[in-house]
Amino acid sequence: MTIDAAITEASRSLKIAGIEQPAREARLLLAFVLDRPDSFIFAHPERELGTVEAERFGEAVRRRSLREPFHYIVGKREFYGLEFFVNPFVLIPRPETEIVVGEAIRTLEGLDRPRFIDVGTGSGCIAISILTNVKTARGTASDISVEAIRVARSNAANHDVLDRVDLLATDIFDAIGETRSDLVVSNPPYIAQIEIRSLQPEVREHEPKHALTDGMDGLRVLERIIRDAPKRLRPGGRLLLEIGAGQAGLVKRMFDERIWEDIHSIEDLQRIPRVISGRLSD
């Protein structure tokens, strides 16, 4: 079977499965199988696939047709200009989370040997992106999932920051020492349990539930982080939290204005408040 014929057949299968861009995903899956750039697929439509190549491509298309996330199939995801290994133990990094990273970098730049804590690190994408861009920083990254910490450790090693981050399998701050940090940052499970059923099957059926929802209203972990962060921050330190659409008002009201100041939201490109920022009073 030629590349062109394989793409045509795969596109048809993916379209039937409800994939929004079937031809594009078919090309990218074949490029992954062949370990070639996307441009190779366009340039060599008559190239014959070998038996093993055809079998591997067929398996990738089958998995995608079952709505397994594309990035789990290829095992990687680009985020903040870096490539991260991902698997079903960790949430796939989203573009909106790059807003959190940008704010974190701006917060830490210029500080003398800044320290930060990343709660619910997953793949490590937030912590590693910060460390890559703020060379003097040191971080602590926690996750309740031992498997997620393994993924984060692999990614930290791949990006040469393993010596600047402490990776802990713990619930929020539980096993983190008393050292005060300049920043606490988190992309917590903020989706309400009742909303899970309305998510795309890629998310609903394949991504780790504990990284999506607290099993209740989506606010419980946010509330715990806001409550406990002052014990982990230096005076003047900042808390950055990714939130869901429509949560900004509720989350802002969780901050005790007797100890927090400069509490504000930051919008994404769709003008949706996506990050809440607060500064611990001096």
Predicted TM-score (pTM) of the model is: 0.95
Q: What is the per-residue pLDDT across 62-86, written as a single tens digit (0 to 9) for each? A: 999 999 999 999 999 999 999 999 9
pLDDT at 177: 83
DSSP-H helix ranges across the chain: 3-16, 22-34, 38-43, 51-65, 70-74, 97-108, 125-133, 146-158, 201-206, 209-212, 220-228, 248-252
Any bridge partners for residue 186, and if so which? 119, 241
Per DSSP, the residues of 37-60 read -HHHHHH-TTPBPPHHHHHHHHHH
Angle at 241 between CA 182 and CA 250, to 5 degrees: 130
pLDDT at 253: 97
pLDDT at 179: 86
Q: Are 269 and 278 in contact (CB under 8 A)?
A: no
Per-position pLDDT tens, the chain of length 282? 999 999 999 999 999 999 999 999 999 999 999 999 999 999 999 999 999 999 999 999 999 999 999 999 999 999 999 999 999 999 999 999 999 999 999 999 999 999 999 999 999 999 999 999 999 999 999 999 999 999 999 999 999 999 999 999 999 999 898 889 999 999 999 999 999 999 999 999 999 999 999 999 999 999 999 999 999 999 999 999 999 999 999 999 999 999 999 999 999 999 999 999 999 999
Q: Which of the listed CATH numbers 1.10.10, 1.25.40, 1.10.260, 1.10.8 matches domain 3-66?
A: 1.10.8
Q: What is the per-residue pLDDT across 167-202, written as a single tens digit (0 to 9) for each? A: 999 999 998 988 899 999 999 999 999 999 999 999
Domain boundaries of the chain, sorted by first residue: 3-66, 76-280
For domain 76-280, give the CATH superfamily.
Vaccinia Virus protein VP39 (3.40.50.150)
Same fold across 3-66 and 76-280: no
